[in-house]
Amino acid sequence: MKQNQSMHSEIRDLVESFAADLTALVRRMALEQVHSALSGSISDGRMTRGPGRKASASNRARGGGGKRSSDQVDAFALKILEVVKRKPGLRGEQLSKEMKTDTKSLRLPMLKLIGDKKVKTKGQRRGMMYFAA
């Protein structure tokens, strides 16, 4: 009888542990979805402007929507590198303010700089800081 109770207790503990882990995972996923929706990357990867809203500064500077040429991306990457050298440890939001653009415009040039090992990162997601290599 004691052995039976012990096994039931062990099973109950495992089920409770699994339920707690599952709950934490669901909460984390929900928070990530809310965060991505609020930061402008909705499920299809695009977010349209509402009526009457102006295009962002970076779109106006590039001449509206559309893709940037590799020369434009490389030139912008050099400007980013200059700012990172001048002010190491900036996060993406701070860097975008410094450069007077939006964070989305920084993504591709920053990925190229990181890939070329010209910029090092520290931290994760929104807390990621950038340093010149």
Residues of the chain with pLDDT under 70: 40-65
Distances (CA, A) of 42 to 48, 99, 103, 122: 10, 25, 15, 26
Contact 121, 128 (CB under 8 A): yes
The per-residue pLDDT for 111 is: 92
pLDDT tens digits, 59-83? 555 555 678 898 999 999 999 999 9
The pLDDT of residue 35: 83
The string of DSSP letters for 27-66 reads HHHHHHHHHHHHTT--TTS--PPPTTPPPPHHHHHHTSSS
Question: So what's the pLDDT on residue 41?
Answer: 47
